[in-house]
């Protein structure tokens, strides 16, 4: 029977609707097609099919004997209405399925779950290792691909930066202190990682974006330590020593890891030179841009914001 | 029989079977009596507004008590709500207004800044704890973190009162003690509720961002200074 293009009826008896199979429709049985208490849906569909066929025969007979312009039979109109409803239902179901599939794909935080699968012991050991350069550069060094440690380090750096900005009466004209701190730290972490990854891609170094993010994130541990000390103990000489020592060690570690994964003199020079320069200059910038000492003010006085 | 069937028209279907020896079980009848009879028990649409507001306020107040005396309980988690955190956030943001807000100086945080920090901080901590394998739901975690801002809000009120008296070293020392104590209290209270939902060996990983979050809020409270 010409069931129309709207539904997926493949059986001659008009197969089950999607609603009946998946149970996504209403649970109330439509009583209007049943005139006995039969509970079998086979009989229902059979009855429905029979009734529709009878109607079709009736309309065909009537059409054969009457004028052909008059097509508004109750039977045909009822058939079209039902088809229209089914088509609308199908479209709605298909749209809903697509939307939920898209949502599950993009809003699924489980994509990030493997990168947060760490133990506290591992985080601690990786923090310690980020200050210890490894001298083996002939074989690719292992770089852990996790995001928990780097993310927490970036947030810690934000907190330390805020503390430093407040204790030195930093004036920010456009924007707020919080916004500047968060923007600087996240901008550095994400921006420099992407840039170095791009350079690594150009010179064909063996490192993934995740590993780069992880490497640079753990490299910020040295920065956190130096800034924490130098924002509270204001001796320039001490800062320079710490800058060379801690900054230098964490830079050396990152450089060694990159060296072990790059082939060729010029690519190595390019990649490692860029990273060292950016990393060390960032520490200098954080110290001097956000922490001006007003001459004559004792560092041990409580922070007072005056107008 | 007829009157019973009038109320339950599908009742007779429950003893229909397709094959003789496998009876269909269960009751598929749907009572179709007047629906208002059942809804009256659950509908709160007709009660006076005062009753609704008071009921919600009482629920919020009960949770405040749970935060102030934190012990391992599931009260905050079972019936979570976000009214309390909203109230606390707005109060804190209002109290942090009126700082040295001269147009040339970046003094206290703006209202919107406090809001953004509190809510986005909570969201990030919640996502972090879910990624680490926590069993708590998104809104339950938001609820707990929001309610545990209560000690810091109290500390802010105390700080403002102390600042009225003066802003010298003594007042700073007092404020430092108060803010540190309330920061510790907030962190301890929130871990009492959140820690149970984590696998045992990863509690430290979840507690650290909470510590940072309340540290930043405590720092905002401590460094607040009123306009002269």
Chain A CB contacts of B169 below 8 Å:
302
Average pLDDT over residues A300-305: 45
Which is more confidently placed, A175 or A141? A141
Residue A303 gets which letter from DSSP? P
Write down the pLDDT at residue A77: 63
Comparing CB atoms, the residue among A116, A166, A179 nearest residue B132 is: A116
Task: Band the pLDDT of A1: cuts 50, 70, 90.
Answer: very low
Backbone angles phi, psi at B226, to 5 degrees: -75, 155
Tell whether the model's pLDDT for residue B30 goes beyond 70: no
Q: Which two tokens stand for residue B219?
A: 């720092």
Number of other residues whose CB lies within 10 A of the CB of residue A158: 20
Write down the pLDDT at residue A188: 95
Write down the pLDDT at residue A303: 46
Write down the pLDDT at residue A302: 46
Write down the pLDDT at residue A58: 66
Task: Band the pLDDT of A247: cuts 50, 70, 90.
Answer: very high
pLDDT in tens, A179-206: 888 899 999 999 999 999 999 999 999 9
Highest mean pLDDT among A198-202, A294-298, B104-108: A198-202
b/e map of A31-42 (b: 16 or more CB within 10 Å)? Answer: eeebeeeebeee
Write down the pLDDT at residue A71: 46
Q: Which of A149, A131, A159 is nearest to A227 (CA)?
A: A159
A176 to B202: CB separation less than 8 angstroms, yes or no: no
Tell whether the model's pLDDT for residue B49 goes beyond 80: yes
Tell whether the model's pLDDT for residue A272 goes beyond 60: yes
Task: Band the pLDDT of B224: cuts 50, 70, 90.
Answer: confident
> Torsion over CA of B88, B92, B94 and B99, rounded to 10 degrees?
180
Average pLDDT over residues A296-301: 41
Write down the pLDDT at residue A194: 96
pLDDT in tens, A110-161: 778 888 888 889 999 999 999 999 888 888 888 888 999 999 999 999 989 8
Residue with tokens 């753990």: A218
Chain A CB contacts of B8 below 8 Å:
none
Write down the pLDDT at residue A156: 94
Number of other residues whose CB lies within 10 A of the CB of residue B145: 25
A173 to B106: CB separation less than 8 angstroms, yes or no: yes
Chain B CB contacts of A173 below 8 Å:
104, 106
Write down the pLDDT at residue B47: 79
Rounded to the nearest integer, the mean pLDDT of chain B is: 78
Write down the pLDDT at residue A62: 59
Highest mean pLDDT among B15-19, B43-47, B73-77, B135-139: B135-139
Write down the pLDDT at residue A41: 55
Which is more confidently placed, A162 or A23? A162
Tell whether the model's pLDDT for residue A165 goes beyond 70: yes
pLDDT in tens, B162-220: 888 877 888 889 999 999 999 999 998 888 877 777 777 788 888 899 999 999 888 88
ipTM above threshold 0.85: no
Query: From the CA of A265, how many Å to the nearest CA of chain B?
Result: 41
Q: Which of B144, B128, B101, B100 is nearest to B204 (CA)?
A: B128
Which is more confidently placed, A304 or B167? B167
- Flag whether residue B120 sits within 8 Å of chain A, measured between CB atoms: no
Q: Which residues of A touch B (CB under 8 A)?
A: 28-29, 31, 37-40, 109, 112-113, 115-116, 118-120, 123, 148, 151-152, 155-156, 159, 162-163, 166, 170-173, 176-179, 302-307
Task: Band the pLDDT of A276: cuts 50, 70, 90.
Answer: very high
d(CA A178, CA B169): 26
Which residues, at least 6 apart from B176, have a Cβ–Cβ distance to it below 8 Å? Answer: B222
Tell whether the model's pLDDT for residue A83 goes beyond 70: yes
Write down the pLDDT at residue A245: 94
- Flag whether residue B16 sits within 8 Å of chain A, measured between CB atoms: yes
Which is more confidently placed, B199 or B59? B59
What is the reported pTM? Answer: 0.68
Among A52-66, B131-145, B179-193, the range scoring the smallest mean pLDDT is A52-66
Which residues, at least 6 apart from B26, have a Cβ–Cβ distance to it below 8 Å? Answer: B14
In B47-149, alpha helices (H): 49-68, 75-78, 83-95, 111-131, 138-147
b/e map of A232-242 (b: 16 or more CB within 10 Å)? Answer: eebeeeebeeb
d(CA A95, CA B205): 41
- Strand, helix or coil at B80? coil
Write down the pLDDT at residue B130: 83
Chain A CB contacts of B219 below 8 Å:
159, 162-163, 166
> Is-contact A231 A164, C-beta < 8 A?
yes
A176 to B30: CB separation less than 8 angstroms, yes or no: no
Query: From the CA of A87, how many Å to the nearest CA of chain B?
Result: 29
Write down the pLDDT at residue A181: 85
Among A108-117, A235-244, B8-17, the range scoring the smallest mean pLDDT is B8-17
Residue with tokens 């509908």: B43
């Amino acid at each position: 029977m010409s069931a129309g293009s709207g539904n997926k009826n493949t059986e001659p008896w008009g197969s089950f609707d999607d609603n009946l199979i998946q149970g996504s429709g209403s649970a109330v049985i439509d009583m209007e097609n049943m005139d006995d208490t039969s509970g079998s849906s086979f009989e229902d569909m059979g009855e429905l099919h029979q009734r529709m066929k009878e109607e079709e025969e009736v309309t065909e007979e009537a059409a054969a004997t009457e004028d052909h312009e008059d097509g508004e039979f109750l039977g045909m109109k009822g058939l079209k209405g039902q088809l229209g409803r089914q088509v609308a239902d199908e479209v709605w179901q298909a749209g809903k399925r697509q939307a939920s599939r898209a949502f599950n794909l993009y809003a699924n935080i489980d994509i990030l779950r493997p990168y947060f699968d760490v133990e506290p012991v591992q985080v601690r050991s990786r923090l310690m290792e980020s200050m210890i350069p490894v001298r083996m550069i002939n074989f690719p060094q292992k770089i852990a691909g996790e995001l928990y440690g780097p993310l927490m380090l970036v947030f810690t750096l934000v907190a330390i930066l805020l503390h430093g900005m407040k204790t030195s009466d930093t004036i920010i004209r456009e924007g707020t202190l919080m916004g500047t701190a968060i923007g600087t730290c996240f901008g550095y972490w994400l921006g420099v990682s992407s840039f170095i990854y791009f350079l690594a891609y150009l010179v064909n170094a063996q490192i993934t974006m995740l590993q780069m993010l992880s490497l640079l994130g753990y490299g910020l541990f040295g920065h956190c330590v130096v800034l924490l000390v130098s924002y509270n103990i204001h001796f320039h000489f001490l800062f320079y020593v710490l800058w060379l020592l801690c900054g230098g060690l964490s830079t050396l570690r990152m450089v060694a890891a990159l060296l072990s994964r790059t082939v060729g003199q010029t690519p190595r020079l390019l990649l490692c030179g860029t990273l060292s320069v950016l990393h060390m200059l960032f520490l200098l910038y954080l110290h001097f841009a956000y922490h001006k000492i007003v001459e004559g003010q004792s560092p041990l006085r409580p922070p007072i914001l005056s107008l | 029989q007829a009157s019973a069937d009038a109320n339950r028209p599908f009742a007779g279907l429950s003893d229909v079977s397709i094959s003789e020896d496998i009876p269909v079980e269960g009751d598929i009848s749907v009572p179709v009596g007047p629906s208002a009879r059942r809804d009256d028990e659950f509908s709160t649409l007709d009660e006076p507004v005062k009753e609704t507001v008071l009921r919600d306020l009482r629920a919020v107040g009960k949770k405040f008590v749970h935060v102030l005396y934190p012990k391992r309980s599931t009260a905050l988690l079972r019936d979570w709500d976000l009214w309390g955190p909203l109230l606390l956030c707005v109060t804190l943001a209002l109290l942090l207004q009126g700082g040295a807000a001269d147009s040339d100086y970046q003094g206290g945080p703006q209202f919107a800044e406090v809001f953004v920090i509190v809510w986005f901080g909570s969201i990030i901590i919640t996502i972090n704890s879910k990624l680490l394998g926590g069993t708590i739901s998104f809104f339950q975690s938001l609820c707990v973190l929001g309610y545990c801002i209560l000690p810091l809000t109290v500390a802010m009120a105390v700080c403002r009162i102390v600042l009225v008296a003066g802003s010298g070293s003594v007042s700073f020392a007092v404020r430092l003690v108060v803010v540190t104590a309330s920061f510790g209290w907030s962190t301890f209270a929130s871990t009492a509720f959140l820690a149970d939902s984590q696998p045992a060996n990863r509690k430290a990983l979840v507690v650290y961002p909470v510590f940072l979050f309340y540290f930043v809020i405590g720092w905002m409270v401590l460094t607040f200074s009123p306009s002269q």
